[in-house]
Each structure stands twice: as C-alpha cells, then as structure tokens.
C-alpha cells in the first residue's frame, strides 16, 4: 500500500495542477511544491520501516493482476537499494521543484505537471518487480523529460531533446527484446507466462540465451547510464535542459541504467555477467578517463559537469562489475553520492544561470567575493565530487577501488587516474569561476544565495557529511541486497565469507588491536 501511495502522490499533484486555471501562477507553484514535498514525507518512513534483517528479499510487496492474459502484474516491492533510490528520488524531486520557483516563467502549469509525472515514472521504475511494469515506467520517464528539455530548455533544445529521446528509445527497444526472450524462455521451461522478476532469479537460463539477453539488456541500460561510447546524448541533454531537468537527469535517470544492471542483468544472467566483466570494465575505464579528459576541455559549465558524470558513472559501473561485496556496495553508495553531489553541482550552475543567463565559464570569475556563501557550498560540493575523505564521494570511491583492486590491480590503477583528473578539472572550474578578480561588471552586483536556495542545498550538505562520516546506516540497508547478488554472481566469495564467519578471528590480526580486524560481521 505504502509504495503505491509514494508512487501516486506526485501524480495526484499533477492531476490537481491539471484542473487548475493557468493564471493562478502562485497557486500552481504552491501546489507543485506541496505535492513534491508531500511525496518526500510519505516516502520517509521507508528509512525506518525497511528492515535489513528481514529474510524477505523484497519488502512492502503489492501484487495484483494487471494484464492477466499475458501474465503481467502490478507487482511492486523494494529491497535496500530501491528503498534508498526511492528516498533519493522523492528528495531530489522536491529539491528540483523548489529550485524552479523563480527560474521558470513559461507555461509553468505544464512545467510542473511534467516534473511530477517524471517523478512518478522514476519511482515506478525503482519499485516495479514486474518486467513489463518496469519497462513501462522506464519508458514513461522519457516523455516528460523530452518535453522538459524541448520546451523549457535553452539554445539547441529541440536537437538535444530529440537526441535524448531517440537514443534512449533505441536502447529500450532492444531491452524489450531481451525481456521478451526471457519471457518466452520462462514459458518454455515452466509453462507459465509471467513477468515476475523474482521468478527469473531462480531460473537457470542457458548460457547462449544469457549471452544474447545480456547483450540486449546491456544496450538498453548502458545507453541510459550512459557508458562510453553511448554517452554523447548526455552532454547535449544536460546542457540544454532546465536546471530541474538536469538535476533529475543526473541524480535519478542515469541511475535507472545502473539499477537495471543491478536488478535484472546481473542476478538473472550471472554467467553472462561474469563473461562480460572484462569488456564492461574496459568500457568503464575508458569512460572514467575519457569523460574526465573531455570535462577538462569544456568552456561550458554545465557541459563540464555532464562529462564529469560520464566519468563518475564509469566508476559506478566498474564497481558493480567487480562482483565483490566492497565493489558492489561502493557502487550502490556511489550512485546515491553521485545523485547528491552532481545534483548539487547542477543546482549550483542553475543559481548563477538564473542571475546571469550564461553558462560560459569565462563569463564568471571572482564570484567568491560577491557570493561567499555560494562559493562555500560550491567548494563543499566540489570536494564531495572529487572524493575528499570524510565526505560522501570518498566512501563510494574507496569501496569501488578496493573492490576492483582485489580483482585487478591494473583496473584499480587506471580508475585511480580519474581521481587525479577529477581534482584537476573541478579545481580548475572552481578557480575560473570563483577566484581571481571580477572581470565582468555584471558580476559585481550578483546576489548571494537566498533563503529558498539555501533550503535546496541543506539536505544535500547533510547527506554529504552523513554518508561521508557515518555510512553504516546506508551500508546496513544495502547489505542483504549485496549479499544476494554476490551469492549469485560470485558464489566463491560468498562461500569464503560464510566460512570465515564461522572460523576463528582473522589469523593476521594483532592480538593487541581488536579494532578493524573483525571477521566479516557485515556479511550475514
């Protein structure tokens, strides 16, 4: 029940907006904000009510027939990772809508409807446990985002919007093929037509079919992530999207791709997953380094952040496909982190874009003198993005690097280059915009952050410190899901860990220091 409530709250808001006369601009904004933050509030209990110690893989499960003739169901439920993603979605949705208050003046009714429908689509994708239902939501996300970019975007908005739509659509179509292949295979083996995700977790798909389905899923998800070389829609879409669109795109839509790997490709097709590891690692590593290098060459503030996303998402995929507990956990944490810090970075661009209507980096410079609070938050988020320890980015990065290192030292070494390059392009961006003398007179009178703007950053700042200093509550919620996936894709590690739990404490631990040498209690 409660998941459906979370799913429908923004949609109800959109319906209310639909009924409102368009001249009530203030009312429309208020309704949109209320709907979005109500959506966050109704999702908040998930944090406490989700029980990591439960034996059930999915909690809050709702099932009812949807299209009985083909076995499709309205089947929703969450594990630890989807719980965190839903919370991230409702939070970022609220932030995006509040951040739009004064940024958008054109067709605001439709604008907020699009954002709220988008919100519903994203939540739906993260809670669906029926392949067809997932696919539906996966596609539903596209349409409002297409309009957001195409109508409220800048410069080449039509080109970017169409490119975004068609490119991801190509991936989706192939993804659907993969889903159907599995669907028919399930019928061939069991005689049942069903899109129930959990059924496929126990289905041993023949290797050859695994290969083809994995390939189809890979295309669908890797375009969404996006992974090199399918990433070129991203900088265009980000650059031309309105601020809220960029925030949602970076923080949430990209996660639909990595979520797809986590929820479908890997547990359903474990053999093909293992086979694919070197190739996906290669693409991820290229993405990390290449995305960072491209970011360094940008003159456009948003495009720079967009390319940094390519680099960071490469890291996320690398960790996931390391197939080790630390790598996977790091990857999942890093997805939240990327939502927080890149979302914040896009918000930050939006703040000055609203004041100056330009994204060109050299139109700024010396901003720290007139917007000190802005400069401080930007610095914090820069540090979060480049993985300064004690902030969130480090926790994800170091777990990913650790999880990768035990698989291949070379991969970890190359991925580590991303950390150097990340510092280089982010600090250069920071210097070019914030430091130096003010070179453009228009910048002298810039107003520092207002109360509403500060409000949009506060939750992200809290999360950056929280995950950075004490990620345990997050890791604990993820642990069962990670454990299940590891059992599926890396049975030898799962078995070894289980043995280690029963064995005597680590033979290498010094007797004098019990700290940090406990025998794997994190793995149940």
Partner 1 sequence: MVTLAWIPLLPALGALTLGVFGIRFFPKRLTALLACTTLTLSFVVSAFSVWQLVKLPAGEARVLEFTLGAWLPAMASPTSHGIGSFGVDWALRLDALSAVMILMVTFVASLIHIYATAYMDHEEPGAYARFFTYLNLFVFFMLTLVLGANFFVLFVGWEGVGLCSYLLIGYWYQKNSAANAGRKAFIVNRIGDWGFLLGVLLVFMTTGSVDFYAVRAAVEHMPIETTTFATLSAACLLLFVGATGKSAQLPLFVWLPDAMEGPTPVSALIHAATMVTAGVYLLCRNAMLFSHAPQVLEIVAVVGALTAIVSACIGLVQTDIKRVLAYSTVSQLGYMFLAAGVGAYGAAMFHLVTHAFFKALLFLGSGSVIHGMSGEQDMRHMGGLRVFLPITAVTMTIGALAIAGIFPFAGFFSKDEILAQAFANNRPLWVLGVITAAMTSFYTWRLVALTFLGSRREAAPAHDAHGAHGGGHGHGDHGHHAPHESPIAMTGPLMVLAAGATLIGWFGMPPVWGGSAFEHFIEPVIATGAHGGEGGGHLSHATEWTLMIFSVTVALAAIWLAQRMFVQKPAIADAMAARFSTAHRWLTDKLYFDELYGATVVAGTYAVSRLSFWFDRTVVDGLVNGSAAMTVFSSWLSALIDRRGVDGVVNGVGNTLHDASFGFRRMHTGLTQNYALAMVLGVVVFVGVYLVVR
Considering only residues 193 to 222 of the shown chain, the ones binding partner 1 according to CB under 8 A are 208-209, 212
The residue whose two tokens read 């479908």 is: 264
| Least distance between partner 1 and beta carbon 473 (Å) | 10
DSSP code string of 250-303: IIIIHHHHHHHIIIIIHHH-HHHHHHHHHHHHHHHHHHHHHHHHHHHT-SBHHH
Region 140-179 residues binding partner 1, contact defined as CB under 8 A: 146, 162-163, 165-167, 169-170, 173-174, 176-177
| Least distance between partner 1 and beta carbon 177 (Å) | 4
Of 30, 53, 28, the closest CA to residue 524 belongs to 53
- Could you say whether residue 423 binds partner 1 (CB under 8 A)? yes
Of 137, 140, 124, 15, the closest CA to residue 77 belongs to 124
- Of these, 220, 245, 403, 480, which contacts partner 1 (CB under 8 A)? 403
Distance between CA atoms of 148 and 110, rounded to whole angstroms? 9
Region 425-444 residues binding partner 1, contact defined as CB under 8 A: 427-428, 431, 434-437
**Contacts of residue 473, Cβ cutoff 8 Å, sequence gap at least 6:** none
Distance between CA atoms of 443 and 109, rounded to whole angstroms? 32
| Least distance between partner 1 and beta carbon 209 (Å) | 6
Of 426, 391, 85, 45, the closest CA to residue 254 belongs to 85
| Least distance between partner 1 and beta carbon 11 (Å) | 20
| Least distance between partner 1 and beta carbon 25 (Å) | 29
Q: Is the peptide bond before 428 cis (omega within 30 degrees of 0)?
A: no
DSSP code string of 494-505: HHHHHHHHHSPS
Region 123-142 residues binding partner 1, contact defined as CB under 8 A: 139
Are 405 and 412 within 8 A, CB to CB? yes
Structure tokens given for 395: 């926790």
| Least distance between partner 1 and beta carbon 522 (Å) | 5
Stretch that binds partner 1, among 6-14, 61-69, 396-404, 458-466 (CB under 8 A): 396-404
For residue 191, the SS3 value is coil
Region 216-255 residues binding partner 1, contact defined as CB under 8 A: 229, 231-233
Distance between CA atoms of 308 and 31, rounded to whole angstroms? 34
Region 257-316 residues binding partner 1, contact defined as CB under 8 A: 290, 293-294, 296-298
Stretch that binds partner 1, among 13-21, 41-49, 365-373, 456-464 (CB under 8 A): 365-373
> Closer CB to partner 1, residue 115 or residue 322?
322
| Least distance between partner 1 and beta carbon 112 (Å) | 22
CB atoms within 10 A of CB 195: 26
Structure tokens given for 502: 């029963």
- Could you say whether residue 32 binds partner 1 (CB under 8 A)? no
Binding track over 457-476 against partner 1, x by CB under 8 A: ------------xxxx--xx
| Least distance between partner 1 and beta carbon 287 (Å) | 11
Distance between CA atoms of 43 and 60, rounded to whole angstroms? 12
> Closer CB to partner 1, residue 63 or residue 187?
187
| Phi, psi of 223, rounded to the nearest 5 degrees | -70, -40
| Phi, psi of 75, rounded to the nearest 5 degrees | -125, 110
Count of residues that bind partner 1 according to CB under 8 A: 98
| Least distance between partner 1 and beta carbon 75 (Å) | 21
- Could you say whether residue 65 binds partner 1 (CB under 8 A)? no
- Could you say whether residue 516 binds partner 1 (CB under 8 A)? yes
| Least distance between partner 1 and beta carbon 19 (Å) | 24
- 317 CA to centre of own chain: 11
- Could you say whether residue 347 binds partner 1 (CB under 8 A)? no
Stretch that binds partner 1, among 90-98, 190-198, 240-248, 507-515 (CB under 8 A): 507-515
> Closer CB to partner 1, residue 230 or residue 346?
230
Of 298, 294, 322, 321, the closest CA to residue 310 belongs to 294
Stretch that binds partner 1, among 4-12, 41-49, 261-269, 323-331 (CB under 8 A): 323-331
> Closer CB to partner 1, residue 151 or residue 177?
177
Of 321, 318, 328, 327, the closest CA to residue 274 belongs to 321
- 126 CA to centre of own chain: 11
- Of these, 389, 455, 458, 462, which contacts partner 1 (CB under 8 A)? 389
| Least distance between partner 1 and beta carbon 14 (Å) | 19
> Closer CB to partner 1, residue 94 or residue 121?
121
């Amino acid at each position: 029940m409660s998941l459906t409530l979370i799913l429908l709250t923004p949609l109800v808001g959109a319906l209310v907006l639909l009924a409102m006369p368009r001249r009530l601009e203030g009312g429309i904004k208020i309704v949109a904000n209320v709907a979005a933050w109500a959506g966050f509030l109704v999702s908040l209990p998930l944090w406490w009510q989700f029980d990591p110690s439960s034996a059930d893989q999915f909690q809050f499960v709702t099932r009812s027939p949807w299209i009985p003739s083909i076995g499709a169901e309205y089947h929703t439920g969450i594990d630890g990772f989807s719980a965190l993603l839903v919370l991230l979605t409702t939070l970022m949705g609220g932030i995006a809508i509040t951040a739009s208050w004064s940024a958008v003046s054109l067709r605001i009714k439709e604008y907020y409807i699009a954002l709220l429908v988008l919100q519903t689509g994203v939540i739906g994708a993260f809670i669906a446990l029926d392949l067809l239902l997932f696919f539906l939501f996966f596609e539903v996300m596209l349409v409002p985002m297409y309009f957001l970019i195409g109508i409220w975007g800048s410069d080449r908005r039509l080109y970017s919007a169409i490119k975004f739509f068609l490119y991801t659509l190509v991936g989706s179509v192939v993804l659907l093929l993969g889903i159907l292949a599995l669907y028919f295979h399930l019928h061939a083996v069991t005689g049942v037509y069903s899109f129930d995700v959990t059924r496929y977790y126990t289905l041993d798909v023949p290797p050859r079919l695994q290969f083809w389905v994995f390939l189809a899923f890979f295309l669908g998800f890797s375009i969404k992530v996006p992974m090199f070389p399918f990433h070129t829609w991203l900088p265009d879409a980000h650059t031309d999207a309105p601020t809220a669109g960029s925030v949602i795109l970076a923080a949430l839509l990209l996660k639909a791709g990595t979520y797809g790997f986590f929820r479908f490709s890997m547990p359903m097709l474990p053999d093909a997953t293992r086979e694919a590891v070197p190739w996906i690692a290669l693409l991820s590593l290229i993405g990390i380094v290449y995305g960072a290098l491209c970011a360094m060459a940008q003159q456009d503030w948003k495009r720079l952040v967009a390319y940094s996303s390519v680099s960071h998402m490469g890291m996320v995929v690398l960790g996931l496909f390391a197939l080790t507990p630390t790598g996977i956990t790091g990857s999942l944490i890093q997805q939240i982190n990327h939502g927080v810090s890149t979302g914040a970075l896009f918000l930050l661009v939006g703040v000055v874009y609203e004041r100056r209507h330009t994204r060109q980096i050299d139109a700024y410079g010396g901003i720290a003198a007139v917007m000190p609070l802005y400069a401080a938050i930007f610095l914090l988020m820069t540090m979060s993005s480049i993985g300064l320890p004690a902030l969130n980015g480090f926790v994800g990065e170091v777990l990913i690097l650790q999880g990768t290192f035990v698989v291949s030292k070379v991969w970890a070494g190359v991925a580590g280059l991303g950390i150097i390059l990340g510092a280089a392009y982010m600090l250069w961006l920071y210097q070019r915009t914030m430091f130096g003398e003010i070179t453009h007179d228009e910048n002298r009178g810039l107003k520092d952050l207002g109360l509403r703007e500060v409000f949009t950053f506060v939750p992200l700042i809290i999360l950056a410190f929280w995950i950075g200093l004490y990620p345990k509550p997050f890791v604990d919620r993820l642990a069962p899901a990670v454990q299940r996936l590891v059992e599926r894709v890396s049975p030898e590690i799962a078995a070894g860990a289980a043995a280690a739990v029963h064995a005597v404490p680590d033979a290498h631990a010094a007797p004098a220091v019990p700290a940090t040498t406990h025998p794997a209690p994190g793995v149940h």
